[in-house]
């Protein structure tokens, strides 16, 4: 045990003092902020500054739709309602769309007053957001006109169409209610996913690379003359795991500080309520530790079988790919919380460390799924350690050439 702790301490100090640790500690959160902030701002201001024209056979309706669009304070569209509709005007406006001096043209054929025919023309057929806004605005404008025609006064109509805000909250089977806006929950889920995913991949690869380096510099010859391969591997896993945990503690502290700052609250429109339950924290730590050890064991086995960093790059993608696939599983968790695929991803040990914690942030995960998932992950961890320690024991003393699959099988049998 003494040797394991000494090796773990050495691994920990060397990595924490290294440049790679400093870079990844700063760069990963920066990357998260840039990606999420960028997405958030893009989503929020996707239509900013767009210039469109509305041409209708009924100019009143065109004006009403424009007013409806402009009533939305978050909307920064610039909207023209040119003179009465005509073929010449339509052709001229379409020319402007083609020349990019106009972002889009909405034409409304309102011969049938209750169901006017509307066409939106732009250079991009994927302009879904703006088409949605136009549809909603047109529906409201037509309804308002109809109500006015039916003799209901303007004040009454305004009262009917007053903007309603909605708060979201989640209730579990015990009746506990947790508050939180959809956007905040989304941000929380992606932060948690990245907090687990990034250290596992970064430090797992680092460990495999260090093993190759130690193998080529024959440090293992000296290490194995003092400690057993199992002690060396255990020390490496513990040390690297502690590095990952240190990084996470730094990141969480940074998130807590940032979430209480005025700047973030302002960015989120004063609606930033970053709530995280004790259960989420406990499961986060459990899945991080188990997931980290599981992937690190696989990476260390891989490192012991490779001769060069190039070999590692080639084979590492086989490990990294399932981990990245888990990010798609998390997207499915967000959009379809009750989907059977989420249950599969929760139970599968390759994806469970990344999927369970985000799921807990979104919905109440049944106890049987949690216990089965943990059990399967622990069993897989045991199997990964078993295989890796055998590959490690033989692989670190094999120099000169990359091991083939039949050789790997022989190593497993012989050790």
Q: Which two tokens stand for residue 364?
A: 């109440």
DSSP string, 191-203: HHHHHHHHHHHHH
Closest contact distance (angstroms) between CB of 202 and another protein is 18
Q: How far is the CB of 207 from another protein (least distance, A)?
A: 14
Q: Answer for the pair 290, 378: CB distance below 8 angstroms, yes or no.
A: yes
Structure token digits, residue 123: 């250079």
| Span of 3-11, 51-59, 260-268, 323-331 interacting with another protein by CB under 8 A | 3-11
CA 356 from chain centre, in angstroms, equals: 14
Separation between Cα atoms, residue 197 and residue 324, nearest integer Å: 8
CB nearer another protein, residue 97 or residue 397:
397
Question: x/- binding map, residues 379-398, to another protein, per CB under 8 A?
Answer: ------------------x-
Residues 6+ apart with CB under 8 A from 178: 169, 170, 171, 172, 275, 277
Q: Is 409 in the site for another protein (CB under 8 A)?
A: no
Q: Token pair for residue 200?
A: 């596992």
Q: Which is nearer to another protein, 15 or 68 (CB)?
A: 15
Among positions 3, 136, 140, 246, the unique one binding another protein when judged by CB under 8 A: 3
Alpha-carbon distance 167 to 398, whole Å?
62
Q: Give the span between the Cα atoms of 125 and 117, in whole angstroms.
A: 18
Q: How far is the CB of 404 from another protein (least distance, A)?
A: 12
Asked if 244 and 199 touch (Cβ cutoff 8 Å), the reply is yes
Q: Are 16 and 246 in contact (CB under 8 A)?
A: yes
x/- string (CB under 8 A) for another protein, residues 115-134? --------------------
Pick out residues in 181-240 that bind another protein (CB under 8 A). 213-214, 217-228
CB 299 within 8 A of CB 241: no
Q: Is 22 in the site for another protein (CB under 8 A)?
A: no
Single out the segment in contact with another protein by CB under 8 A; choices: 5-13, 54-62, 102-110, 369-377: 5-13
Q: State in angstroms the smallest separation of the CB of 397 from another protein.
A: 7
Residue nearer to another protein on the CB measure, 18 or 84 = 18
Indicate whether 14 belongs to the interface with another protein (CB under 8 A). Answer: yes
307 φ/ψ angles, rounded to the nearest 5 degrees: -105, -35
Report CA 323 to chain centroid distance, whole Å.
12
Residue 298 · residue 317 · CB < 8 Å: no
For 300-393, strand residue ranges (E) read none
410 is a contact residue toward another protein (CB under 8 A): yes
The distance of closest approach from Cβ of residue 221 to another protein in the complex, given in angstroms and rounded to an integer, is: 4
Q: Return d(Cα 26, Cα 247) in angstroms, integer.
A: 10
- From 6-14, 105-113, 160-168, 350-358, give the range in contact with another protein by CB under 8 A: 6-14
| Tokens read off for 352 | 């469970």
Closer residue to another protein, CB minimum distance, 103 or 214:
214
Identify the helix (H) or strand (E) that includes residue 80: strand 78-80
> Among residue numbers 297 through 336, which ones bind another protein (CB under 8 A)?
none
> Which C-beta is closer to another protein: that of 18 or that of 37?
18
CA dist., res. 7 & res. 233, Å (int): 9
CB of 204 to another protein, least distance (A): 19
- Can you read off the two tokens belonging to residue 252? 């969480």
> In whole angstroms, how close is the CB of 320 to another protein at the nearest point?
25
Number of residues that bind another protein (CB under 8 A): 22
In the bound state with another protein, the residue whose beta carbon lies nearer, of 140 and 228, is 228
Q: Does 16 bind another protein (CB under 8 A)?
A: no
* Smallest distance, another protein to C-beta of residue 386, A: 19
Residue 103 CB, shortest distance to another protein, in Å, is 56
* Distance between CA atoms of residues 50 and 222, nearest Å: 68
236 vs 359, which CB is nearer to another protein? 236
In whole angstroms, give the CA distance from residue 241 to residue 379: 19
Q: How far is the CB of 218 from another protein (least distance, A)?
A: 4
The candidate with the shortest Cα–Cα distance to 93, out of 52, 34, 59, is 52
Closest distance between another protein and the C-beta of residue 295, in Å? Answer: 24
Sites of contact with another protein (CB under 8 A): 3, 6-7, 10, 14, 18, 213-214, 217-228, 397, 410
């Amino acid at each position: 045990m003494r040797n394991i702790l000494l090796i773990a301490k050495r691994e920990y100090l060397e990595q924490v003092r290294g440049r790679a640790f400093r870079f990844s500690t700063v760069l990963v959160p920066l990357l998260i902020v840039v990606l999420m902030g960028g997405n958030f701002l893009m989503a929020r201001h996707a239509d900013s500054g767009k210039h469109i024209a509305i041409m209708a056979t009924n100019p009143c309706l065109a004006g009403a739709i424009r007013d409806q669009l402009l009533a939305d304070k978050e909307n920064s569209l610039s909207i023209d309602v040119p003179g009465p509709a005509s073929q010449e005007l339509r052709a001229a406006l379409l020319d402007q769309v083609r020349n990019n001096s106009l972002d889009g043209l909405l034409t409304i054929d309102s011969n049938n007053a209750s169901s006017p025919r509307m066409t939106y023309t732009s250079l991009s057929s994927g302009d879904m957001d703006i088409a949605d806004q136009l549809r909603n605005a047109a529906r409201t404008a037509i309804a308002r006109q109809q109500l006015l025609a039916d003799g209901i006064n303007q004040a009454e109509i305004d009262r009917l169409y007053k903007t309603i805000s909605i708060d979201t909250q989640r209730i579990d089977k015990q009746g506990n209610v947790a508050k939180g806006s959809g956007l905040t929950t989304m941000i929380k889920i992606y932060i948690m996913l990245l907090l687990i995913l990034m250290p596992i991949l970064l430090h797992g690869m680092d460990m495999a690379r260090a093993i190759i380096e130690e193998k080529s510099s024959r440090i293992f010859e000296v290490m194995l003359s003092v400690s057993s391969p199992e002690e060396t591997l255990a020390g490496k896993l513990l040390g690297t795991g502690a590095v990952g945990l240190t990084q996470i503690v730094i990141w969480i502290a940074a998130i807590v500080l940032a979430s209480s700052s005025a700047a973030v609250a302002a960015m989120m429109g004063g609606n930033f309520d970053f709530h995280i339950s004790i259960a989420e924290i406990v499961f986060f730590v459990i899945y991080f530790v188990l997931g980290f050890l599981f992937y690190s064991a696989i990476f260390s086995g891989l490192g012991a079988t490779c001769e060069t960093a190039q070999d590692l790059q080639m084979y590492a993608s086989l490990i990294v790919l399932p981990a990245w696939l888990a990010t798609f599983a998390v997207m499915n968790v967000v959009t379809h919380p009750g989907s059977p695929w989420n249950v599969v991803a929760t139970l599968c040990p390759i994806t469970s460390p990344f999927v369970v914690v985000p799921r807990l942030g979104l919905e109440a995960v049944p106890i049987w799924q949690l216990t089965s998932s943990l059990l399967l992950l622990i069993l897989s961890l045991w199997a990964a350690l078993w295989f890796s320690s055998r590959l490690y024991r033989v692989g670190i003393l094999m120099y000169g050439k990359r091991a083939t699959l039949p050789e790997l099988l022989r190593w497993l049998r012989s050790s």
